[in-house]
Structure 1
Amino acid sequence: MSSTVKILTVGSAVGSIRDLFAKIKAIDAKHGKFDLVLCTGDFFGPPKNQDEYIEEDEAMQLLNGTLEAPVECYIMQGEYPLPPPVIEKFAKTSGQLAKSVFLLHKSGLMTTAHGLRIACLGGIYDSKLYHAAETLHGFTSPYFTSLTMEKLLSNTMTESTPASANSKISSYTSLASIKASTSTSPLVDILLTNTFPADVTALSSVQLPSPSFPTTEGAEPVADLVRRTKPRYHFVAGGGSKQTPMFWEREPFTWDDENGRVSRFISLGAFGGESTPSTGKKQRWFYAFSIAPLSPNSPQTARPANSTGNPFTERTVPRGMKRPFESGNAEGENFRWGNVKQSGKRSRVEGGQEGKPPAGYKCKICESPDHFINDCPDRAKPKEGYICKICKEPGHFVRDCPTKHQVGDTGGRKPPEGYVCRACGSEAHFIQDCPVASQPQSSRGHRGPPKEIAPDQCWFCLSNPNLAKHLIVSIGSECYVTLPKGQIIPTHSSSNHPRGKVPAVPGGGHVLIVPISHYTTYASIPPDLAEPIIEETEKYKSALRAFYAAYDAHPIAFEVGRLSAKGGHAHVQVVPVPKSISADQIAEWFISEGKRLGIDLEFDESTGPPSAGDRGYFRVDLPDGRRLVHHLKDGVPFSVQFGRQVIVSLLAMPERFDWKECAQSEEDDKADAQNFKEAFIQYDPTL
């Protein structure tokens, strides 16, 4: 194992795969040998019709093995959706497209055998879509979203090791392998993104290749990703769809809070792209460098002579930008996996050094004094005798079960039973993976208004044969109460959350109050029918408050009253939290997180649901009876997972954000429902 790794990074091939491999072979013969090649941007180029992917196509030749790479290559998604045959091969092989060609996940992390951590964020940024997504966007979508970013940030807190001493790169593509072990730091050595970070040109005196560079593509979420991961090298494909990819290498800059860690930023031109209009020449498209892994004992890196201030932490007006850098949070925006509220840097434990335990601290798992219990590497390993509740096999937790990530007919994640794609009617893929939905509007025709969800397809209507009736814990005259799939409160895996604030309510206690009749929101219920439904809903809320109190907890109730042509089914989610978390703290948490995301929450003095004339609303009932409300605005996206996002952060369990990752076996769900019913029976207002 050598002390340094020699890497060649290249710009977008844009479909010129054979020519790129020939150039890589020539460069490797003259300047190599390279350990690996990182291919940024669009490797396959713009999408084609399905019938254009024939044997003569270079992408197909790569997939069938007739076109070979001279050096191990790692490619990413650029600004376009990936070809369907590529997605299909990725799903079957977990990322290996050919003998020496591997596709990085859209939000992937890999660790080389040398110990280098390489992170990748594929796709392009759209501020209107970023927070609106309800599910992760796959390779059939050109966009990355807040959920993509959250997955990447959570992956940076994991580390993988090579499968064998002879393996150059460890397995990194499956979620199970990514979560196999826990890292003590989110820092990465190399970051690959297709989108520029906001503010990267600030404090730089290097001439820009274009007056608009790179303001047409700069994204604050990518800047926050840089602040969180502090990459030693950050490569961007350059340009995107709005301008010709251009080469630009910024002066290095340092991170004072990481022992002077040095970062370098490089934008690459495209190998297979067009020439620059002003010069008629192609931009520089490759960058070779050597890098050595860092260890805790590595000496502090000398500050480069040409280094500048850090553009991501120092307040300034970035060159070419019209707005000032947002102040008030030196760590950048907090995504769901970070702290929601920060009032300045401080130690995790009073008296300890930044990120290190104080004197006398010992990890309760392995008794080591060098790390906190949440950072213990043994925490990610099941104890001897542990059996996964889903596949009944040992060796992994339920959250890492490979059967949870089966693929659908288009290569994306397989939907749960009862899901129907609204674009084509298939039950075998999500709409973001649908080939019909991904086609341009002109090629598939006008689809008309969204199809309204019928009661027999609604997840909450009792008439739906696929309704999870085993989770229902109480049925009244107008409403019923059910445990949700993948509830926030861990019941069979609480030991996996040693820092979580887990209430001791039997069965978990996270429930939904659902009107039996099908209405989109509580506000849309006709006035002459609303009174008994609302009255019974409030009775259930009161009963749950008394029930939780017996276990030293109190409730947070919230409703997303989102009106849409597709419809939906009104329901209120009620989650118990420990009484040690006061109503004022809960209110402050929601308001602070809402402000960060552009969601203006205000105290509402009215009673009952918001008026039916509103487009939609989000409402929170605090434990002390006060109420917060946000009125949804036309054209402004709102994530239906906002309430869950805040609560999992409040309970210090951000890994419980994705309900699908928290799903249990039917056996465990039935046990939770039975435990809840037996304890709730004396409070049930319908009995």
Structure 2
Amino acid sequence: MAAKIVVLGEVNGRLQPVFTKLASLHAKNSFSFAIAVGNLFADDNEAVTELLEGKLTIPLPTYFTVGQNALPPRIVEKIEKDEEICHNLHYLGKRSTTKTSEGIRIVALGGQLDETIIGGLSKEQHLPFHTVGDAKALQGAHEADILLTALWPSFIRKGSKVSLPEGLIDVTGQDHISDLCASLRPRYHFSSSPEFFFEREPFFHPPTTEAPDNRPLTRFISLAAHGNPLKQKALYAFSLQTSVDPTAPLPAGATASPFLSRPNPKKRPALDLEPYSRYGTHDSNGGYNKRGRGRRGERAPPPGPDSCFFCLSNPNLETHLISSIGDDAYLTIAKGPLTTSETNAVHDIDFPAHALIIPLTHAPTLSSITEEDDSKIKTYSEMNKFKDALQKMIAEKSNNSLGAVTYEISKGNGVHVHWQLLPMPVDIIRKGLVEAGFRVEAENRLFPSFEVRDPRIGDNEGDFFRVWIWTPPADEASVGSTNCLIMPFDHSIRFDLQFGRIVLAKLLGLTDRTQWRECSQTEEEEKKDIEAFKAAFKKYDFTL
């Protein structure tokens, strides 16, 4: 089954003539829905009044997002109040994933990039600005039929023979839009270029390990604005099958993805071309060989980025828990936190403060991260920056009555390495009870003994559990101190992934909260916690 779709170039407030023309086309073609790219509105003018008063008819379901100009205040007010502007006109949101009644999946990222004043995920859906973090979060949609962006992707004209109209300047693209397109591999990617129409040759993406014979195809199209002086194309109609035929031959003139030619990109797309290659090697028959685990033999590859709890490419990732996204790692509060808003209230911290520091790269250990562009070194460095910033926040907010404990489980057959950090009363740390707690629990479980050392990134340590115990400064002249313990273990040890949480729960008197699944919160409670956390961390957040 096919959906007939019509896409509108920038309308810029010319609502009456554009929708009158659309009504005429719709009467002849019976479109399923329409999409408006770029700026639908201009000023808060008479056209807006006519729309809000019901004097202007939208002939069919029409979707739009914010362009590079702000939405009129009355339109924003209407969206916030009623969630519907008028019959058949639907605001997608600035950062959104929408599935239409026909089953077409639309991913939208409106606005222009603002790196100077906004970091992480933007909090509102109406201003015409977004962050790189917004684009990274949308990679969690995993796939899209239609990608809608206000900005062009960088290098989109690389390898193309389509020329621009004479005398017009090329559009500057953005790397984070290229990364988004490369990750989602949409069937159509629409944008706007007010002065001209541009349709690139279709390009195919590299196959994945999961689908080695499938080369998803993308068509990038940028429409001119309505009423443009060169009379460039401002409408584009097409039919889109609701399902994809992976065996269909590539169309004539199709090229390889232009994004593969970008020189030294800072970050690879969230969906790696060989998502499991970091866990071991593939044999000559396409099988999977386990890395250095002796008698345990072969095993199936672990979950890929699209089903990993910690990957931004997981469509089920709960992005409302994310606080900050850096270049190589991100910070989030814990799902089902061990501590609660009451735990640290006596120390003037009114939120759980149980945080996770997670690499953007999908890898089971820090050592297994690709060597490309010193990725493992940069990832480890940024994770430590997050750890140091969190420790400083906890100490200053608690007037040095709280230190912090951070722990890591590094296993070659793991899924996605991460650090968990929790506040810890300073008297418990200074009495040596934290170190003793970990040593005693390990002894009770017949685990190997802890060693006092901190291995360097890249050292071939094998599997290990590591914990950093940080004592806040005793006075303004000092910076605090860290004691690091490491427990190496091998395949003969059945290591409990809840080990770190179990020890800290006993130390804090929270043994009834040992299992995170039994500490679930409502989404409203989680949002309240993340807002309090972000407000406290803002002063220390180097990503802003």
TM-score, length basis structure 2: 0.57
1:250 is the counterpart of 2:197: no
Q: 1:219 to 1:470 in 2, by over 3 A?
A: same
Amino acid at match of 1:45: A
In 2, Cα distance between equivalents of 1:289 and 1:343? 30
Q: Secondary structure at the match of 1:192?
A: strand
Q: 1:109 to 1:214 in 2, by over 3 A?
A: farther
CA contact (8 A) 1:357 1:370 kept: no
Please name the residue that 2:16 is paired with: 18
Aligned equivalent of 2:104, options 92, 113, 116: 116
Q: Secondary structure at the match of 1:514?
A: helix
1:348 CA drift (Å): 7.9
Q: 1:223 to 1:543 in 2, by over 3 A?
A: farther
- In structure 2, the gaps of 5 or more residues are 209-213, 290-299, 309-315, 322-339, 358-363, 367-389, 401-423, 441-449, 461-472, 486-515, 517-522, 533-544
Amino acid at match of 2:59: P
Please name the residue that 2:252 is paired with: 305
Please name the residue that 1:288 is paired with: 237
CA contact (8 A) 1:106 1:123 kept: yes
Please name the residue that 1:424 is paired with: none
Please name the residue that 2:437 is paired with: 550
1:146 is the counterpart of 2:135: no
| Aligned residue pair count | 378
1:27 is the counterpart of 2:25: yes
Q: 1:665 to 1:23 in 2, by over 3 A?
A: closer
CA contact (8 A) 2:38 2:192 kept: yes
Matches within 5 A, 1:85-484: 85-94=74-83, 96-129=84-117, 132-133=118-119, 136-154=122-140, 156=141, 186-209=142-165, 213-215=169-171, 217-238=172-193, 244-257=194-207, 259-272=214-227, 274-275=228-229, 281-294=230-243, 298-315=245-262, 325-327=263-265, 331-332=268-269, 338=270, 345-347=275-277, 470-472=342-344, 480=347, 482=349, 484=351
Please name the residue that 1:663 is paired with: 526
Q: Secondary structure at the match of 1:200?
A: coil
> Could you tell which deviates more after superposition, 143-152 or 64-73?
143-152
In 2, Cα distance between equivalents of 1:264 and 1:611? 60
1:542 CA drift (Å): 4.8
In 2, Cα distance between equivalents of 1:293 and 1:308? 24
CA contact (8 A) 2:207 2:273 kept: no
Please name the residue that 2:59 is paired with: 70
In 2, Cα distance between equivalents of 1:148 and 1:43? 21
Once the two structures are superposed, residues 385-404 of structure 1 have per-residue CA deviations (whole angstroms, 9 ceiling, x without a partner) of xxxxxxxxxxxx9x799xx9
Task: From the two aligned structures, give the one with the greater strand fraction.
Answer: 2
Aligned equivalent of 1:513, options 395, 402, 421: 395
> Could you tell which deviates more after superposition, 12-21 or 300-309?
300-309
Amino acid at match of 2:354: Q
In 2, Cα distance between equivalents of 1:21 and 1:142? 23
Please name the residue that 2:6 is paired with: 8
Q: Secondary structure at the match of 2:183?
A: helix
CA RMSD in angstroms, aligned pairs only: 5.0
In 1, Cα distance between equivalents of 2:427 and 2:459? 22
In 2, Cα distance between equivalents of 1:139 and 1:92? 14
1:326 CA drift (Å): 2.5
Q: Secondary structure at the match of 1:512?
A: helix
CA contact (8 A) 2:205 2:256 kept: no
Once the two structures are superposed, residues 310-363 of structure 1 have per-residue CA deviations (whole angstroms, 9 ceiling, x without a partner) of 101135xxxxxxxxx32585x34xxxxx48xx896535876899xx9989xxxx
Once the two structures are superposed, residues 591-636 of structure 1 have per-residue CA deviations (whole angstroms, 9 ceiling, x without a partner) of xxxxxxxxxxxxxxxx999999xxxxxx9987649xxxxxxxxxxx
TM-score, length basis structure 1: 0.46
Q: Secondary structure at the match of 1:287?
A: strand
Please name the residue that 1:573 is paired with: none
CA contact (8 A) 1:40 1:237 kept: yes
Once the two structures are superposed, residues 76-111 of structure 1 have per-residue CA deviations (whole angstroms, 9 ceiling, x without a partner) of 1101111122112212333x2211110111011111
Amino acid at match of 2:30: K
Amino acid at match of 1:285: A
Aligned equivalent of 2:456, options 584, 591, 597: 584
Amino acid at match of 1:472: N
In 2, Cα distance between equivalents of 1:282 and 1:545? 76
In 1, Cα distance between equivalents of 2:167 and 2:427? 61
1:224 CA drift (Å): 0.7
In 2, Cα distance between equivalents of 1:620 and 1:345? 40
* Stretches (4+) displaced over 6 A: 356-359, 373-377, 607-612, 619-622
Q: Secondary structure at the match of 1:61?
A: helix
Q: Secondary structure at the match of 1:326?
A: coil
Q: Secondary structure at the match of 2:71?
A: coil
1:139 CA drift (Å): 4.5
1:587 CA drift (Å): 11
Please name the residue that 1:591 is paired with: none
Q: Secondary structure at the match of 1:305?
A: coil
Please name the residue that 2:376 is paired with: none
Once the two structures are superposed, residues 116-173 of structure 1 have per-residue CA deviations (whole angstroms, 9 ceiling, x without a partner) of 21111100124444xx43661534532111332244233x1xxxxxxxxxxxxxxxxx
In 1, Cα distance between equivalents of 2:279 and 2:474? 43
In 2, Cα distance between equivalents of 1:87 and 1:586? 51
CA contact (8 A) 2:201 2:253 kept: yes
- In structure 1, the gaps of 5 or more residues are 157-185, 239-243, 276-280, 316-324, 333-337, 360-368, 378-396, 405-467, 475-479, 491-498, 502-508, 519-536, 554-577, 589-606, 613-618, 626-652, 654-659, 670-687
Amino acid at match of 1:255: H
In 1, Cα distance between equivalents of 2:186 and 2:431? 47
Please name the residue that 2:511 is paired with: none
1:114 CA drift (Å): 2.9
CA contact (8 A) 1:481 1:514 kept: no
Q: Secondary structure at the match of 1:38?
A: strand
Q: Secondary structure at the match of 1:256?
A: coil
1:189 CA drift (Å): 0.9
In 1, Cα distance between equivalents of 2:9 and 2:432? 58
1:301 CA drift (Å): 2.6
Q: Secondary structure at the match of 1:234?
A: strand
In 2, Cα distance between equivalents of 1:107 and 1:43? 16
Amino acid at match of 2:257: N
Q: 1:223 to 1:146 in 2, by over 3 A?
A: same
Amino acid at match of 1:313: L
Once the two structures are superposed, residues 181-238 of structure 1 have per-residue CA deviations (whole angstroms, 9 ceiling, x without a partner) of xxxxx011110111011110101111123666434x3111111111111111111022
Please name the residue that 1:657 is paired with: none
CA contact (8 A) 2:12 2:41 kept: yes
Q: 1:289 to 1:373 in 2, by over 3 A?
A: closer
Once the two structures are superposed, residues 512-554 of structure 1 have per-residue CA deviations (whole angstroms, 9 ceiling, x without a partner) of 2225679xxxxxxxxxxxxxxxxxx99669549852773589x
In 2, Cα distance between equivalents of 1:620 and 1:230? 47
Q: 1:500 to 1:37 in 2, by over 3 A?
A: farther
In 2, Cα distance between equivalents of 1:620 and 1:245? 59
Matches within 5 A, 1:562-641: 584-585=456-457, 624=484
In 2, Cα distance between equivalents of 1:400 and 1:8? 31
